[in-house]
Structure 1
Amino acid sequence: MNDVMESWARRYAGFFTHLKETDLNRLGEVFAPDARFKDPFNDVSGLDQIEMVFRHMFQNCPAPRFYIHAWALKDNTAYFHWRFTDRQDDGVGGLRLDVDGMSRVLFNESGLVITHVDYWDAAEYLYEQIPVLSSAIRFVKRRISA
């Protein structure tokens, strides 16, 4: 099973590291039809809903890129350490994303993803770039830090 799991993890990592908007019609090659995808902003099930999440990403992040640093395997689960970047410079202070995170990905017996859950700190990587929220977040961090 370990060699098989490694090939599934390698295929999945490859899909995301080369992901382009035109690839979204191929989500069924890596996700089961009733798969669940969860991140700090979404919790959806089914290929149509997963496609909607990624279409939204491409609409709001014109140059998204995933980098997989490492992964670990246990039974039918892969854990991916990744970095997501979008270095958009729109000249008017657009958000520049550089997010470090982890994903827990469960595969079915056919090697398709049945659950993908992302873990990353939305406050650190996104909210702190929004002027009104950033000062409030810094205040709270100062109050609760040792």
Structure 2
Amino acid sequence: MIERFHDIAAWFEALTPQTLNSAGLIYADSAHFADPFNDVHGLPAIVRIYAHMFQNLDQPRFHIARQVVQGADAFLVWRFTGTLRGRPFAIDGASALTLDAQGLIADHQDYWDPASQVYERIPLLGAVLRRLRRKLATPDS
């Protein structure tokens, strides 16, 4: 299984609009995908999420930093980079993956903080969220 997860990580790192049509080699037809903005079932819905990403971002890329594999489960730590409206961005996160008996992703859960990595970058909203974060933080943290 470890080798299969290495192949999956390589697929994510090489993902482009042209390679998106090979998602069926990575995801099961009935796979579940969830992140802070999406919660979908089925390969067509997952492909739409990635297609939407390519339509709205310039040069989006996943950089896999670490993999922890145990049987049919893996945890990938990644950095997602790209450009949005001419501004570069980087989002750090992780994915919990579970493979089915055929070695395809059956469940994909992404974990990352949209408040600090997206919302706080929005002009008025960001100022409010940063102030709230400071107010809620433990002193001297």
TM-score (norm 2): 0.94
Deviation, structure 1 residue 139: 1.3
Deviation, structure 1 residue 23: 1.3
SS in 1 for 2:103: coil
Aligned: 1:35 with 2:27: no
Residue of structure 1 equivalent to 2:107: 115
Match of 2:13 among 4, 11, 17: 17
Equivalent positions of 1:34-113 (< 5 A) are 34-88=30-84, 90=86, 94=87, 96-113=88-105
Query: d(CA) in 1 for partners of 2:116 and 2:5?
Result: 28
Amino acid at match of 2:112: W
Judge conservation of contact 2:56–2:84 (CA < 8 Å) in 1. Answer: no
Deviation, structure 1 residue 25: 1.2
Aligned alpha-carbon RMSD (Å): 1.1
Judge conservation of contact 1:97–1:126 (CA < 8 Å) in 2. Answer: no
Query: d(CA) in 2 for partners of 1:88 and 1:141?
Result: 25
Query: d(CA) in 1 for partners of 2:61 and 2:134?
Result: 32
Query: d(CA) in 2 for partners of 1:34 and 1:132?
Result: 40
Deviation, structure 1 residue 15: 0.3
Query: d(CA) in 1 for partners of 2:85 and 2:125?
Result: 21
Query: d(CA) in 1 for partners of 2:55 and 2:85?
Result: 15
SS in 2 for 1:97: strand
Judge conservation of contact 1:63–1:88 (CA < 8 Å) in 2. Answer: no
Aligned: 1:7 with 2:3: yes
Residue of structure 2 equivalent to 1:126: 118
SS in 1 for 2:19: helix
Q: C-alpha offsets along residues 51-72 of structure 1, whole Å, 9 cap, x if unaligned?
A: 1100110011121010001101
Deviation, structure 1 residue 88: 4.7
Residue of structure 1 equivalent to 2:133: 141
Query: d(CA) in 1 for partners of 2:35 and 2:64?
Result: 17
SS in 1 for 2:3: helix
Structure 1 stretches of at least 4 aligned residues deviating more than 2 Å after TM superposition = 87-90
Judge conservation of contact 1:66–1:83 (CA < 8 Å) in 2. Answer: yes
Between Structure 1 and Structure 2, the one with more strand by share is 2
Query: d(CA) in 2 for partners of 1:69 and 1:98?
Result: 13
